[in-house]
């Protein structure tokens, strides 16, 4: 049975959790782009995955919790929290609202991510 787009959006996050960047890439169109609210504009999915891979190299564990999700025909909007643990024991949460846009073939064509970082309780 084929996944619905809500499940595909979550599968993309699960691939990130296990550092399966090839799996993430396979879920996207050849021209997929990612926009984040960091002031740098849109990037290709390949550039974004390279950036995430470099970021994740300093992280012991990462886990996504999807707080809520809304779907229409070709888009998924979800509120999510990325929980990060570093080797030194520090923890961080990255809260985000993310919109995934899918093409007719079920592949991700655009991701828009509005993020902010919050130190976990008890972390300096």
Instruction: Report pLDDT digits (tens) over 23-63.
Output: 999 999 999 999 999 888 999 999 999 999 998 888 999 99
Q: Report helix, strand or coil for 75.
A: strand
Query: What sections of 1-124 are H helices per DSSP?
Result: 5-17, 21-26, 45-56
Cβ atoms of residues 103 and 25 within 8 Å: no
pLDDT in tens, 52-107: 999 888 899 999 999 999 999 999 999 999 999 988 888 889 999 999 999 988 99
Strands (E), the chain: 28-36, 42-44, 61-71, 75-85, 91-102, 108-119
CA distance 69 to 76: 7
pLDDT given for residue 17 in this prediction: 95
pTM as predicted: 0.89
Residue 121 DSSP code: T
> How far is the C-alpha of 55 from the C-alpha of 110, rounded, in Å?
21
Dihedral Cα 46, 48, 53, 54, nearest 10 deg: 120
- Could you tell me if residue 30 is left (phi over 0), alpha (psi between -120 and 50 degrees) or otherwise beta? alpha
């Amino acid at each position: 049975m084929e996944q619905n787009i809500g499940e595909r959006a979550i599968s993309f996050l699960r691939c990130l959790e296990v550092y399966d960047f090839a799996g993430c890439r396979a879920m996207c169109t050849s021209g997929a782009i990612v926009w984040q609210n960091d002031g740098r504009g849109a990037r290709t999915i390949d550039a974004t995955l390279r950036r995430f891979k470099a970021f994740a190299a300093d992280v012991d564990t990462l886990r996504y919790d999807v707080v809520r999700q809304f779907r229409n025909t070709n888009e998924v909007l979800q509120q999510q929290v990325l929980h990060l643990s570093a080797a030194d024991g520090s923890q961080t949460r990255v809260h985000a609202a993310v919109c995934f846009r899918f093409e007719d073939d079920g592949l991700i064509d655009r991701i828009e991510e509005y993020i902010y970082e919050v130190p976990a309780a008890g972390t300096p």
